[in-house]
Every structure is written in C-alpha cells, then in structure tokens.
C-alpha cells in the first residue's frame, strides 16, 4: 500500500531553496572580482592546461570590468548567505535533524557501496534510509565548505582585524586560493547533486518541494 510520509521539514526546505540563489549570487559576484586578477591556472611551467577562466566564460556571465560592482554585491549578499547558513546549522542542531545528516561510523562504507552501485560497478543496492552514507558525507561537507568560505572570506576581507586567521591559513595569497577552490567545489557539488537528483527521480525531488514522499508501507495495521 502506498502512503505519504513526511520527509523534509519545512524549515530545511526553505533554507535549501533560499541558499540556492544566494550561493549563485556569491559565485557570480565572486567571478566579477576574480576577473580583475585572473591568474589561477592548472599547468606546469610555461604549459597551461586550463586557465581560470577563458574569455568566453567571462562573456557568458558578462563579468569583465565589473570589479567595483562585484565587490559591492559580494559584501551585500555575504550577510544573507551567512545568516541563512547559520540558521540552517542552528535549526538542524536544535531540531535533532543533524542525526540524519552527520556521518556515522557506517557512512564511509555505505558511501563506497553507493558510489559503486551508482557507477554500475556493483549490483548490491545500499540500505535505504533518509540519507545514505554518501549523502551524509556530501551534505555535511557542503556545510563545512560554507563555513570554510565564510572563514577564508573573513580573512580576505579583513586581513588586519582577522590577521591571525589569515596567517593561520597560510597568508593572504594562500587564503585567496582556498576561497577560490571552495567556489569551484560548489560548482562540482552542484553538478553531482543535479545528476543524483535526476537519477533519484520525481518522488525524491518532490519531497524537497512538498516535504512528503510516497512510500510503500510494509506493515501498516
């Protein structure tokens, strides 16, 4: 028998969907800032495999010659991004939702199982519960990354007032690289997240919208 089952609390759904445009705006304004000194690349010596970023990429986001604007937007939305993130963490801590989200000692083993299964390297379906090990690791990592962005951002924004953080993280230049890598990390997370949501199907995506999922009741009386 099919029944409706509550899955995601309303607060978490709001935090999630509010975070999406906020993070997108932080990435966009960050790109406007990065454009002004776009020196990062993957390469060796004189050989560059990948330059961050190619001209067409800036063109796509209309990002050139907009440093002042980028900084103004970044230093405006950073507050909303930080508040939404902090509210999410506080909510999950207080409500007890963290129990489903924080990895436990089975998470890593299960995450490997999930990965093998998803890549069609294993036929053994991982155990089903609210969040599997791979999700627990991913969703906790993304929160830690958010905290990392706030801390590295603080160290770049106020490298004298928070000079001890800047120094502890390797100095101003290193912190900028870390902040940039975290930004790339969100993009990578986004791609995998979208692919996984696609695979999981409408019932799963719908539960992030409505809060409810249709499940087959096993032993309902």
Partner 1 sequence: MTPDPQREIRSRTRRSLITGAVAALAGGAAWEWLSTRREDDGIQWPLRLALRANEQLTRDYFKPARLARTFPPGAVESGRVNGDIGIKDPVPADWSLKVAVASDDGNREFQLSLADIQALPKVEQITELKCIEGWTRVLRWGGARFRDFVARHAPDRVDFDEGNDYVGMETPDAKYYVGLEMASAMHPQTLLAYEMNGKPLTGQHGAPLRLVIPLKYGIKNLKRIGKISFAFTRPPDFWGEQGYDWYAGF
Q: How far is the CB of 126 from partner 1 (least distance, A)?
A: 25
> If binding is defined by CB under 8 A, does position 218 make contact with partner 1?
no
Considering CB under 8 A, how many residues would be counted as binding partner 1? 37
Nearer to partner 1, 172 or 198 (CB): 172
Nearest to 134 by CA among 183, 218, 181, 199: 199
84, 135, 149, 166: residue in contact with partner 1 (rule CB under 8 A): 166
Cα–Cα distances (Å) from 107 to 110, 112, 142, in that order, read 5, 9, 16
Nearer to partner 1, 75 or 198 (CB): 75
Burial of 29 (0-12, 13-18, 19+ CB in 10 A): buried
Sites for partner 1 among residues 51-90 (CB under 8 A): 67-69, 71-73, 75-76, 79
> If binding is defined by CB under 8 A, does position 176 make contact with partner 1?
yes
Q: Which residue stretch of 36-44, 83-91, 96-104, 145-153 sits at the interface with partner 1 (rule: CB under 8 A)?
A: 36-44
> If binding is defined by CB under 8 A, does position 148 make contact with partner 1?
no
Cα–Cα distances (Å) from 52 to 55, 169, 177, in that order, read 9, 22, 12
**Binding positions for partner 1, rule: CB under 8 A:** 2-4, 17, 21, 33-34, 36-37, 39, 67-69, 71-73, 75-76, 79, 157-161, 163, 166-167, 171-173, 176, 206, 209-212, 214
């Amino acid at each position: 028998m099919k029944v409706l089952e509550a899955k995601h609390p309303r607060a978490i759904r709001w935090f999630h969907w509010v975070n999406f445009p906020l993070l997108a705006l932080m990435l966009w304004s960050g790109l406007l800032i990065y454009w002004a000194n776009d020196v990062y690349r993957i390469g060796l010596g004189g050989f560059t495999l990948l330059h961050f970023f190619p001209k067409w990429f800036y063109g796509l986001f209309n990002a050139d010659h907009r440093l002042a604007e980028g900084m103004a937007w970044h230093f405006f939305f950073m507050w909303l991004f930080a508040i939404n993130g902090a509210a999410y963490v506080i909510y999950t801590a207080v409500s007890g939702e963290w129990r489903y989200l924080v990895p436990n000692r089975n998470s890593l083993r299960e995450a490997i199982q999930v990965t093998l299964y998803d890549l069609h390297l294993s036929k053994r379906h991982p155990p089903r519960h609210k969040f599997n090990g791979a999700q627990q690791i991913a969703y906790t990592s993304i929160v830690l990354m958010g905290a990392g962005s706030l801390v590295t951002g603080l160290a770049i924004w106020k490298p004298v007032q928070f000079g001890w953080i800047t120094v502890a993280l390797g100095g101003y230049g290193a912190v900028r690289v870390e902040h940039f890598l975290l930004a790339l990390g969100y993009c990578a997370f986004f791609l995998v997240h979208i692919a996984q949501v696609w695979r999981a199907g409408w019932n799963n995506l719908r539960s992030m919208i409505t809060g409810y999922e249709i499940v087959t009741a096993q032993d309902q009386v």
